Amino acid sequence: MSDFLTWNDRTNMSMLTDFYELTMAKGYLDGGYEDQIVYFDAFFRNVPEGGGYAVMAGLEQVIDYLQNLTFNEEDLKFLKEQYKFDDRFIEYLRNFKFTCDVWAIPEGTVVFPGEPLVKVRGPIMQAQILETALLCTINHQSLIATKTARIVRAAEGRPVMEFGARRAQGFDASVLGARASYIAGVAGTSCTICGQHFDIPLSGTMAHSWVMLFENEFEAFKAYALSYPTKTLLLVDTYDVLKSGIPNAIRCAKEVLEPMGQRLLGIRIDSGDLTYMTQQARKMLDEAGLTDCKITVSNALDEYLIRDLISQGACIDSFGVGERLITSKAEPVFGGVYKISAIEDKDGNIIPKMKISENIGKVTNPCSKEIVRFYDNATGKAMADLIMVADEEIPNGEPYEIFDPVDTWKTKTLENYTARKLLVRIFNKGELVYKCPSITELRANCTKELDTLWDSVKRFENPHRYYVDLSQKLWDIKNDILHSYRKHK
């Protein structure tokens, strides 16, 4: 039997690292670079599904990881015996203590390509080892939060429940995916352990197996109503929605619930032509006096199907969304990367570093950076983001010209704005200085953040491109590095 523990029992995930992080770390130690101070940025290059924005999530689990980042004797024995790491490196790992500075964009914030979601400053050996676990966590939860925000938007105010635990790629994906989906707007989850550990509302009634166990559909409905008279929601598509399911649900309401002074809370349809079925179901329920009975639908839904159902006049009060949410089926990769952006010399001077590539999308931004978001004072809407060198002064309300970092002739002058820094300090020399908000606060932050975006940015197809520009100082540094490389290669 495997001794691999369930997700919530694991505190030390130090060995969740790509092996090359350790081989590089040993090389840094061998070369005397163990105290070299560096800056790393975690960022992503493209919004999934060609969308206009993404949602940051996963920071709380990154914090948990960093607070428990130690190598135990079992880890050290494995590395020494199986991969022959020398005693000096093993001793370094044995005495490992996290002392880095970390800044991050809070969870629930809308974010855009190229922006540092997490910035790490510290000794190269420490900062390097963080890469795999940090990216694994941020990539997954940001992906699910982004997909969820799209699905919730498509529902146009109707509650969406997350039903994907059984289709997720493993334990962590089901639990933490449900967490991310709640931050981004679902009303609750079917994942009980997620509800338990993250205080998220739970939802669930019955499966087809319940209905099939009984002699007939009515007896199944009756038994459920007697067990849950104040919360009776019946699954009506086991046999025939319109000829059997709805009539038996109505009969249950009249013969079982109403004599007890209760009402039928709702029905759920999990198959078939959902537009037609819900329209007919609504008519039948209303004619029976069950105008307050809600209709929920499920069955491989996503934002596009939900949008189509609503546009076709489907009579739906809420949605249960599973596999296409919890796996982000259309594009199941967020694509975040972790790149060095600067080093410090012995005098504390910051020396910019950048990756140069023939692929323009892989050319990185150098320097220790800050991100500023401009909000229109008249509308409250986000106008643009500016990536700048960390030591630059934040614009204070005076007219400020931004320009496209590629097509530099495209400029815009921002006026009547409020500027806000996005990066928040999380760790100071390895000590946690940030209080994680509650899940309810994160959810409220996400709702507020999404409201700052114009609808054109939130379109599913061909969204308006939100401005993310570089400051003149940062652009000049980047351009100088590029020209210097071309000159000397």
pLDDT in tens, 410-463: 999 999 999 999 999 999 999 999 999 999 999 999 999 999 999 999 999 999
Mean pLDDT, rounded, for 199-207:
95
**Domain range list for the chain:** 7-145+332-488, 146-326
Residue 398, C-beta contacts closer than 8 angstroms, at least 6 positions apart: none
Q: How confident is the model at residue 13 (pLDDT cuts 50, 70, 90)?
A: confident
Residue 427 pairs in a beta bridge with: 102, 432
Q: Which phi and psi (to 5°) does residue 467 adopt?
A: -75, 125
Q: Strands 188-189, 160-162: parallel, antiparallel or unpaired by DSSP?
A: parallel
- To the nearest 10 degrees (0 to 180), the angle between helices 131-154 and 171-183 is 50
Biggest distance spanned by C-alpha atoms of the chain: 88
Fold for the domain defined by 7-145+332-488: nicotinate phosphoribosyltransferase (3.20.140)
Between CA 154 and CA 148 the distance in angstroms is: 10
**Count of C-beta atoms within a 10 Å radius of residue 66:** 21
**Count of C-beta atoms within a 10 Å radius of residue 187:** 17
Mean confidence (pLDDT) of the chain: 95
Reported as a single tens digit per residue, the pLDDT across 283-312 is 999 999 999 999 999 999 999 999 999 999
Residue 6 reports pLDDT greater than 70: no
Task: Write the single-letter amino acid at 5.
Answer: L
Between CA 72 and CA 221 the distance in angstroms is: 54
> Is residue 423 a contact partner of residue 103, using CB atoms and an 8 Å limit?
yes
The percent of the chain in helix, strand and coil, each rounded to the nearest 5, is 40, 20, 40
Long-range Cβ contacts of 315-318 (<8 Å, 24+ apart): 315/278, 315/279, 315/281, 315/282, 316/158, 316/274, 316/278, 317/158, 317/159, 317/266, 318/158, 318/159, 318/160, 318/161, 318/187, 318/294
pLDDT given for residue 488 in this prediction: 67
Concatenating the DSSP letter of every residue in 68-99 gives: T----HHHHHHHHHHH---HHHHHHHHT----
Residue 10 reports pLDDT greater than 90: no
pLDDT given for residue 472 in this prediction: 97
CATH architecture, domain 146-326: Alpha-Beta Barrel (3.20)
Between CA 159 and CA 205 the distance in angstroms is: 16
**Count of C-beta atoms within a 10 Å radius of residue 233:** 21
**Count of C-beta atoms within a 10 Å radius of residue 253:** 24
Mean pLDDT, rounded, for 125-146:
97
pLDDT given for residue 3 in this prediction: 40
